[in-house]
Amino acid sequence: MYVANIMSTVIVTALPWLPVTRLHELMVDENVGAVPVVDDAGMPVGIVTRSDLLEEDGEDDAAEVTASDLMRRAPTTIAPGTPISEAARIMARQRVHHLLVVDLEGRLTGLLSTFDVVRWVADSALAVTAHP
């Protein structure tokens, strides 16, 4: 089974200039734990996670902060054809909860979260239990 089979394809993204206050609203309204930051061509340039927002929360000039200021640059990317087990190894090794899935041109096509992987493991275990 491959990343393309379980990744999220409806992705909330942000442009680098988006104010962090709006980014926070997006994450709450859309109930997402991470927002990829993309350039005008749809190429990922970073990612902002809930943890990043929590770290920023105490700053005085939050109104001035943008997604570009807060994002983790050079996010980890993988191809849609990557086996799920390999993606899980990458997540564990790099201690990240989200991987950006990109096409051959490097454009964002999906987002893989640890929740997606856990759901796949649970579904696989259920299928084995249901059909011994």
pLDDT digits (tens, 9 = 90+) for 65-112: 999 999 999 899 999 999 999 999 999 999 999 999 999 999 999 999
pLDDT digits (tens, 9 = 90+) for 32-65: 999 999 999 889 999 999 988 887 765 555 568 9
Residue 132 confidence class, pLDDT cut points 50, 70, 90: low
pLDDT recorded at residue 10: 92
Domain map (residue ranges) of the chain: 3-130
Residue 129 CA to residue 75 CA, distance in Å, equals: 37
Q: What SS3 class is residue 117?
A: helix
Fold designation for 3-130: CBS-domain (3.10.580)
pLDDT recorded at residue 61: 59
C-beta of residue 42 within 8 angstroms of C-beta of residue 103: no
For residue 78, what are the contacts with CB-CB under 8 A and spacing of at least 6? 3, 86, 87, 90, 99, 100, 101, 102, 112
